[in-house]
């Protein structure tokens, strides 16, 4: 059983990255493959090893907590690995945990592959089962704005400049990134990390 992989990212597609470990390339499905490629150094991904009748698949995550959340989602009837991965791709693990704990069906039904009945089932099954995975969103002061209330544009900071440089290295133009930044304004937090900003920018870029 594979617990984690550490190696260089040699190839990426929208859904997976190929990680080379001792001359073997492992195809790993992950929420944000392009962020792994942007690291340009050995990365460590925590692996969920998934076996089905027609395939053996590796799903990789940046932390053990994220992997545990992924496994919790798989316990919900109607949520398979591709749907669970899509949920984690669309936002941060903290925002997903908070939405489940707050019965926020509006947020959940905006995630790819999640209808109202599935969202209700996720809340029913997981609301009281997420305290052991390290995402104590309320104690940490984490706050997610669910309403589309207007707010002042957030100025470009150091984190966005680093994210922008990494995305430039992936081939995105200044104009594309400036448009993505403007489209991101409603979802950007002042304390967002480089990885979080890259994920949000890529979501906008994928939309075209």
- Number of CB atoms found within 10 A of residue 127's CB: 12
- Number of CB atoms found within 10 A of residue 44's CB: 12
pLDDT at 134: 63
User: Is residue 146 in a domain?
Assistant: no
Q: Are residues 118 and 91 in the same domain?
A: yes
Instruction: Answer with the residue of higher pLDDT: 37 or 117.
Output: 117
Q: Are residues 201 and 163 in the same domain?
A: yes
Mean pLDDT score, 135-149: 37
Of 30, 61, 92, the residue that ends a domain is 61
Q: Which domain holds residue 80?
A: 66-126
User: Is residue 115 in a domain?
Assistant: yes
User: Is residue 193 in a domain?
Assistant: yes
pTM (2 d.p.): 0.64
28: Cβ contacts below 8 Å, ≥ 6 apart? 5, 16, 17, 18, 19, 45, 47, 58, 59, 60
Three-state SS at 52: strand
Three-state SS at 156: coil
Instruction: Answer with the residue of higher pLDDT: 155 or 3.
Output: 3
Looking at 147-156, 165-174, 196-205, which range is the least confident one?
147-156
Q: Which two tokens stand for residue 179?
A: 């448009």
User: Is residue 26 in a domain?
Assistant: yes
Mean pLDDT score, 43-66: 91
User: Is residue 148 in a domain?
Assistant: no
Domain tally, the chain = 3
Q: Are residues 170 and 199 in the same domain?
A: yes
User: Is residue 138 in a domain?
Assistant: no
Q: Are residues 25 and 45 in the same domain?
A: yes
Q: Are residues 29 and 54 in the same domain?
A: yes
User: Is residue 137 in a domain?
Assistant: no
Under DSSP, the state recorded for 161 is H
């Amino acid at each position: 059983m594979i617990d984690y992989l550490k190696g260089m990212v040699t190839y990426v597609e929208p859904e997976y990255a190929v990680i080379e470990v001792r001359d073997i390339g492992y195809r790993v499905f992950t929420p944000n493959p392009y962020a792994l490629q942007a690291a340009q150094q050995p990365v460590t991904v925590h692996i969920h090893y998934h076996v089905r009748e027609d395939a053996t698949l590796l799903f990789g995550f940046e932390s053990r907590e994220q992997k545990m959340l992924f496994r919790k989602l798989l316990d919900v009837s109607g949520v398979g690995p591709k749907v669970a991965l899509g949920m984690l791709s669309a936002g941060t693990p903290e925002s997903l945990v908070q939405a489940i704990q707050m019965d926020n069906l509006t947020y959940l039904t905006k995630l790819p592959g999640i209808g109202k009945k599935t969202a209700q089932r996720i809340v029913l099954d997981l609301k009281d089962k997420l305290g052991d995975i390290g995402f104590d969103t309320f104690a940490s002061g984490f706050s997610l704005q669910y309403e589309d209330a207007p707010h002042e544009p957030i100025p470009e900071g150091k984190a966005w400049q680093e994210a922008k440089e990494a995305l430039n290295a992936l081939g995105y133009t200044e104009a594309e990134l400036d448009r993505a930044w403007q489209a991101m304004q409603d979802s950007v937090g002042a304390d967002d990390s480089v990885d979080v900003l890259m994920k949000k920018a890529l979501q906008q870029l994928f939309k075209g």
